A and B are shown apart, each in its own frame.
Chain A
Amino acid sequence: MKEKALILNDIDIDRILKRISHEIIEQNKGSNNLVFIGIQKRGIPLAGRIAKNISELENIKLEVGKLDITFYRDDLLKRVKPKVEITDIPFNIDDKDVVLVDDVLFTGRTIRASLDALIDMGRPKTIQLVVLIDRGHRELPIKADYVGKNIPTSLNEFIEVNLAEIDGKDSVKICEKD
């Protein structure tokens, strides 16, 4: 693995999440009906930060859940992941505007699995997608409603997202596979 470029630092990420927080409020004409669900792993701190921004702006308490999509993968037996992370959505998503948050949007298969998982849990009014980075190469007809930054990549590159809650500091890097 070779690091090619630092795309975003902590200040950039903070600005992006603030901008997206405002966009979500604007798009939904308020925040009363919103709930947030982060996709394991790095979608979770991102969802938490956006929810915190909005609750401060709107003076409202917002719920944040965690979703692991291992059970819904279509490539489970090809890309094996022995440890299944916990799903924790301790609220009802029926008739809610669900804001689904992930770090990188790539093939779209994780999002497809997430949509299946959410629909099994209830019937949200809407599901909206936030991603910090859209790196292209979609294999399914899926697009994000709120994008932090579009980063066109080649297939032998990958995006490394670090977040303070998990990795100790915030950064987004573009790296090349050996």
Chain B
Amino acid sequence: MLGVKNIIDIDDLSSEDIKLIMENADSFAEVLERDLKKVPTLRGKTLVNLFFEPSTRTRTSFEIAAKRLSADMINFSASTSSLKKGETIIDTVNTIQSMVVDLLIIRHSDSGVLNFISRNINTPVINAGDGKHQHPTQALLDLYTIKKSFKSFKDLKVALVGDIANSRVARSNARLFKRMGMNVSLVSAPMMLPEDMSYFGADIFYCIDDVIKEVDILYMLRMQFERQQRKYYPSIKEYNRFLSLNTDRFGMMKKGSIVMHPGPVNRGIEISETVMNLETEMPARIKINNQVNNGVAVRMALIYLILISRQENI
């Protein structure tokens, strides 16, 4: 049973919770390989995707996860809602809660909105990304992807590369990876490093070449243009020189190492066109589409565990 009602911050989960989620994900992944990819487990349960910020993969991933478990999923997007008419967030959430839903999946551009919402309602909440703060389900699906590629997490060398300051993925992932015993490094430019460096507790490098030969996992972060109010990097050429993954650099990576990216990839910025196109040829090395697939299994496991844990408390 999960020790928490909501999943807002990756640090909320205990090591037992994480172990249970990882173990269950295998069983849910098996359902996704069947001809009929649907089981009746959560019939009659209603889930709401409440997205105050655009998203393709996370929203779709949660929707597919819910539907594979036979739960009803309602999509709510802020741009077409009464929020446009001036309704407050809490009123919107309360309205949705009054319609008796079992689980809310929320994304919002402001860090910390999820904490505020969860304190004011009874329905369990999963954070699908809040501002620069946290993206716990991404961290869990990434951990599951790593689990499938390596025997143990202990002492794996992982480098998070790119725009750390604006990345909720970097925050959730660095914390989770460290907790599982991995060595985490950050590769970035001074302008793209966050103020709260102690939160990461990681070594810092300024060029991808400093780590490329040693890493087991090269985790490329997306350039968050939408969150960059000022220009964080002088030019794409400069970025390419220090922080991009190209064919030469990919060739320097050690045997058995993997490349990850939370998507959507800015082709030619974080990862070159050529390396991106290698995925079909080398699915054991480049994991970007595999991460998406694992995302559905991990989210099915999470939805299942939250709803059954909830039932026991009533």
Interface size band for B = 20 to 34
Residue-wise interface mask of A (79-96) relative to B, using a CB-CB cutoff of 8 A (1 in contact, 0 not): 011111111100000000
Scan residues 36-51 of chain B and give those whose CB is less than 8 A from a CB of chain A. Answer: 36, 38-41
A116 contacts partner chain B, Cβ-Cβ < 8 Å: yes
Q: Known contacts A80-B312, A84-B24; is A71 also within 8 Å of B39 by CB?
A: yes
CB of B20 within 8 Å of the partner chain:
yes
A85 to B20, CA, bound (A): 11
Produce 1/0 per residue, A98-118, CB < 8 A to B.
000000000000000000110
Is A121 among interface residues, defined by CB-CB distance under 8 A? Answer: yes
B residues near A80, Cβ cutoff 8 Å: 1, 308-309, 311-312
Q: Known: A76-B41, A77-B307. Contact between A82 and B1, CB under 8 A?
A: yes
Chain A contact residues: helix, strand, loop or mixed: loop
Q: Is the CB of A68 within 8 A of B1?
A: no
Contact of A86 with B27 at beta-carbon distance under 8 Å, contacts A76-B41, A120-B39 already known:
yes
Q: Given A73, A78, A86, A120, which contacts B30 in the complex, CB threshold below 8 Å? A: A86
**Chain A residues positioned under 8 Å from B308 (CB to CB):** 76-77, 80-82
Closest to B41 in A: A71
Give me 26 A-to-B residue pairs in the complex whose CB atoms sit less than 8 angstroms apart, sorted by A's number: A70-B41, A71-B40, A72-B40, A76-B308, A77-B307, A78-B311, A80-B1, A81-B308, A82-B1, A82-B20, A82-B24, A83-B20, A83-B24, A84-B27, A85-B27, A86-B27, A87-B27, A87-B31, A88-B30, A116-B40, A117-B39, A120-B34, A120-B36, A120-B38, A121-B34, A121-B36
- In the complex, besides A72-B40, A83-B20, 20 extra interface pairs with C-beta distance below 8 angstroms are A70-B27, A70-B41, A71-B31, A71-B69, A73-B41, A80-B1, A80-B308, A80-B309, A81-B308, A82-B1, A82-B305, A83-B23, A83-B24, A84-B28, A86-B26, A86-B27, A87-B30, A117-B39, A121-B34, A121-B35
7 smallest beta-carbon distances between A and B, as pairs: A71-B39, A84-B27, A77-B311, A71-B41, A80-B308, A82-B1, A120-B36
Chain B residues proximal to chain A, CB less than 8 Å: 1-2, 20, 23-24, 26-28, 30-31, 34-36, 38-41, 69, 301, 304-305, 307-309, 311-312
